Structure 1
Amino acid sequence: MSVSAIVVSHGHARELETLVPVLEPQVDELVVVANTPGSTPSDLPGRVRVLENARPLRLAENVNLGVAATDGEWIVYSNPDVIPAPDAVGALHGFASTRPRCGIAGPRTVWPDGRWQPTRRSFPTVSGTLVRRTPLRRLFPPLERQTAHYHLDEDVEEPVEADWLLGAFLLLRRETLAEIGGFDEGFRHYVEDIDLCYRAMRAGWERWYVPGARVTHDWAQVTDKGFLSRNSLWHARSMARFVRKHPETMARL
């Protein structure tokens, strides 16, 4: 089974210099979507294809462009600021390919200093989201207090099913994307990974956390650094779109 990889770059040429040499040998093809000028280094390996946008597009649009430009039965989507272990893709694919209904799989993720990042998460609740996205998070730090949402007491060593997985590095089955319509391009930024996993769940596809696959992610946590920043407003609008699409989730108080 062939595996394609997609990386969307918004001026991340320096990060690609680190990521591409590690990711490219693990896949059958690698496409970099250059969303802005100067998004790619000048010396990418010959097998790497670059799609240059005439104008900046939303993340979901860029990922869908990459999916359309590749042929693999499986697709790795990676953020530019991720560094996968040399066997990360093989570990994800080796597990996912044994489960016919596994549509999405994600790795164990750590910060550059080696601390674990809780990327396997429960679908958001109203109360939990209010705490994470308002000044309440100063009183109740989510990454310390929201045990159920982040599975903070479950740094597991064996594969386990997930509600959703942080979209920094994901293995996606092309059949799954085709069935559910790919990433929703209506999201300006953020929450498209939650929506993708939710629609996959509704269609009967499994989402798996595979800790045997390991990556390092220099997670900026931009939306956690202010309450009225551009990024926090984008996140709020995306959460509102998610609720409009899936109003039944409002029952998760």
Structure 2
Amino acid sequence: MTTDDRVQSTLSVVIVTFNSAGVVLDALDALTGIDDLELVVIDNASADDTVDVVRSAWPSATVIENHENVGFARAVNEGVRRSNGDLVMLLNPDAQIGAHGIRVLRDALGSYPGDVVAPFVEQPAPQRIVSAGRMPTVWRMFTHYFGLSRLSARLPLLEGHYLLPRQVHGTMPVEWVTGACFVVARRTWDEVGGLSERWFMYAEDIEFCHRVRRAGRRVWLAPEARATHLVGQSDSSASTTVNAAWVLNLRDFYATHLAPSSRSVGLWTAVVASGLGLRGLVAAVRHGTGSPAARRFSGYSRALVRSTR
């Protein structure tokens, strides 16, 4: 396959929206002018004018209006079924990637056909972690939450669940990437069955990458491609309530797919709850008990502990 053939492969960009009028326009503007791109937007019953914003900005888009919020994975799977491209990109409405980044990802898939390729996702400063890394085993969660992963430049065994920015050097294999932005060949998507609808949202990207790797494919981080992600702002009406679903679902994924025994699930819970609690304590000392970081980390830790009772 030549470079020209790779560039000409039709890319279906699938975006799930929910009250995203305040952010989705920037995502759409970044895609303007990219050749051979099909846009599919699935709206999960937004109460704002998200659908009107999308249709005005991109009249040729396929827009699917759900009558209720069916969750992220179910909406994505429906969007992919309604798309036609040889390549599928998942993109959050609060994420942006432009022509250069998409060209890099297309070229990478030409080098690694059938695999998953993701950009380096830049988050609001300071960026302490990368939205990619290793599977959430007890060891990887321990090294991350207790700071040992900072020593992994010399000891790769200490790499955590999340990679650190300084650990990223060129296109590299990883075990998972964020569903905020990645590209996969449709044949691979169909082969592994799309996203799991086990959860309303969160953890489905890691679980998908797990199945891709079990199918003999690989997952790649291509840092020459850059995307931005506002993290948590895909719903522009989101409240400040702590939502611990991500860590509860992550434990459920671990228990279902990675845990060697029921005891290891208890150990995972203890390690992660302790690590999150410690981070909440540090944030409280530095910024006060009422600071967003202190409330967030402490809330995650408490949710894990309460879920075991």
Fold in common (TM above 0.5): yes
Q: Is the 8 A contact 1:125 1:249 kept in 2?
A: no
Query: SS of the residue aligned with 1:161?
Result: strand
* Separation in 2, partners of 1:54, 1:36: 5
Tell me if the contact between 2:129 and 2:163 (Cα under 8 Å) persists in the aligned partners.
no
| CA–CA separation in structure 1 for the residues paired with 2:171 and 2:259 | 28
Report 1:48-197 matches (<5 A): 48-101=61-114, 103-113=115-125, 115=127, 117-129=129-141, 140=146, 148-149=159-160, 150-152=162-164, 153-156=166-169, 158-197=170-209
Q: Aligned-pair distance for 1:239?
A: 2.4
TM-score normalised by structure 1 residue count = 0.83
Structure 2 vs 1, CA of residues 81 and 23 (structure 1 numbering), >3 Å: closer, same or farther? Answer: same
Q: Secondary structure of 2:105's partner?
A: helix
What is the CA–CA distance in structure 2 between the aligned matches of 1:168 and 1:143, rounded to whole Å? 24
Q: Percent identity?
A: 25
Residue 221 and residue 164 in structure 1: after superposition, are their counterparts in 2 closer, same or farther (change >3 A)?
farther
Q: Which has the higher contact order (CA 8 A, sep 6+)?
A: 1
Q: Higher helix proportion, which one?
A: 2
Offset of residue 207 of structure 1: 0.6
TM-score (norm 2): 0.69
Residues 110 and 142 (structure 1), Cα distance of their counterparts in 2 relative to 1, 3 Å cut: farther
Q: Give the Cα–Cα distance (whole angstroms) in 1 for the partners of residues 192 and 256 of structure 2.
A: 14
Give distance in 2, aligned partners of 1:249 and 1:188.
Answer: 25
2:291 aligns to what?
none
Residue 236 of structure 1 deviates from its aligned partner by: 3.9
Cα separation, partners in 2 of 1:23 and 1:53, compared to 1, 3 Å: same
Alignment deviations for residues 109-147 of structure 1 (CA, whole Å, 9 cap, x no partner) = 212458475122100112554787xxxx5xx46996886
Residues 104 and 171 of structure 1 are in contact (CA less than 8 Å); yes or no, is this contact kept in structure 2? yes
Cα distance in 1, alignment partners of residues 183 and 22 from structure 2: 24
- Check if 1:6 corresponds to 2:14: yes
1:25 to 27, 33, 36: 33
Tell me the equivalent position of 2:211.
199
Task: Please give the secondary structure, in 1, of the residue aligned with 2:99.
Answer: coil
**Which amino acid in 1 is paired with 2:73?**
A
Q: Per-residue deviation at 1:25?
A: 3.0
Aligned to 2:304: none
Specify whether residues 236 and 217 from structure 1 end up closer, same or farther in structure 2 by C-alpha distance, changes over 3 A only.
Answer: closer
CA RMSD of the aligned region, Å? 2.9
**d(CA) in 1 for partners of 2:97, 2:220:** 17
Q: Distance in 2 between matches of 1:169 and 1:142?
A: 28
Which range moved further: 165-174 or 16-25? 16-25
**Contact 1:167 / 1:193 at 8 angstroms: preserved in 2?**
yes
Which letter does structure 2 place at the counterpart of 1:70? S
Does residue 1:245 correspond to 2:253, yes or no? no
Aligned to 2:80, the other structure's residue is in SS state helix
1:190-230 CA deviation, whole Å, 9 max, x = no partner?
Answer: 110110000111000111111111111112499xxxxxx66
Deviation at 1:235, TM superposition (A): 2.4
Letter in structure 1 aligned against 2:19: G
Structure 2 contact 121–130 (Cα < 8 Å) conserved: yes
State the one-letter code of the partner of 2:83: T
> Does structure 1 conserve the Cα–Cα contact (< 8 Å) formed by 2:94 and 2:233?
no
Q: Which amino acid letter does the alignment assign opposite residue 195 of structure 2?
A: F
- SS where residue 205 of structure 1 aligns? coil
